Amino acid sequence: MIYHSTITLKSCPIRVIEKPGDGPAIFFIHGNSMSSQIWAEQLKDGIFDNFRLIAIDLPGHGKSAKSDKPHRDYNLPGYGKLLLKVLDNLKLDDYIIVGFSLGGNIALEVLAKLKVCRGIFLSGTVLFESAKHIPSALMPHPAVSYIFKADTTREQAAEAVELFFNLGTTTDRKLYIDNFTNTDPNCRSFLAKSIEEGKLSNNIEKIQKATIPIAYTTGAKDQYLDLAYLNSHSSFFWEGIKFLENSGHVPQTENPSQFNEYLLKFIQFCYAESVS
């Protein structure tokens, strides 16, 4: 059974999706212009039945409210502060964070403040030392820019989403396009503005200094990230970078069986194989 609830914060109400379990908490954070819906294949997989699965909609995304202060909330420091407030509200004894793309960046932004986090599982997260390095981490496709623009058409959203997939179904694509077009457009433009202003941390340095294990995976056919650039940072991660077969930027959707098996392996490592 999956339950839906809302955490009311001063900034804005946040939608929470939870599948109860007796084991440790696994906390999922989606990417830019997406929602908790991208974790459908993880929430329903029986291999996670022993865990407490929690996913949120970031402000301006999914069923969470739009922020009335986008300049404060729609950037990595803002999202990071909100993440800490949600985690505090949930009062978890410990947890593992699974962050997709922007979701991973948010977790890394506040890594030092995640006091009871046992590990971070990144998927498709952009790695950078500073804002000037971000273009090197992404493929130079014109549609990549739509991820950072407010005034996009549905056709442009479809072009951006197409970069996420290697195979995928029409239904998969529609879900991501719908998520994109339903997102508060300010989320994209204010995120872009904050990056231009340098409102982000050196996440590569944070990963290197981390005291908890950090895993990284993406699809072997990812068209969004520059895989050569990404692979040059492989040594920073638990078991290096895991490239999943037959999938692009969204392996949690395109190849959920491999994604989930690798996530379970990481969870077991983080908890010294005391859970299964």
Q: What is the mean pLDDT of residues 244-250?
A: 96
**Percent of the chain surpassing pLDDT 70:** 99
Q: Tell whether the model's pLDDT for residue 275 goes beyond 50.
A: no
Does residue 196 carry a pLDDT above 50? Answer: yes
* Domains within the chain, CATH numbers bracketed: 3-270 (3.40.50.1820)
**CA–CA distances in Å: residue 72 to residues 29, 116, 138, 191:** 19, 26, 26, 10
Q: Is the pLDDT of residue 11 over 80?
A: no
pLDDT at residue 274 tops 90: no
- pLDDT value at 183 more than 80: yes
Q: Taking 90 as the threshold, does the pLDDT of residue 89 lie above it?
A: yes
Name which residue leads in pLDDT, 142 or 272: 142
* Average pLDDT, integer, range 73-86: 96
Q: What is the C-alpha separation between 238 and 215, in angstroms, rounded?
A: 5
CA distance 59 to 74: 8
- At residue 276 the predicted structure's pLDDT band, cuts being 50, 70 and 90, is very low
Q: Check pLDDT > 60 for residue 273.
A: no
The pTM assigned to this predicted structure is: 0.97
What is the predicted pLDDT for the residue at 221? 97
How many Cα atoms sit within 13 Å of 57 on the Cβ side? 29
Task: Report the pLDDT averaged over residues 27-32.
Answer: 98
pLDDT at position 272 is 84
Number of helical H runs and strand E runs in the chain: 12, 8
- pLDDT, position 9: 84
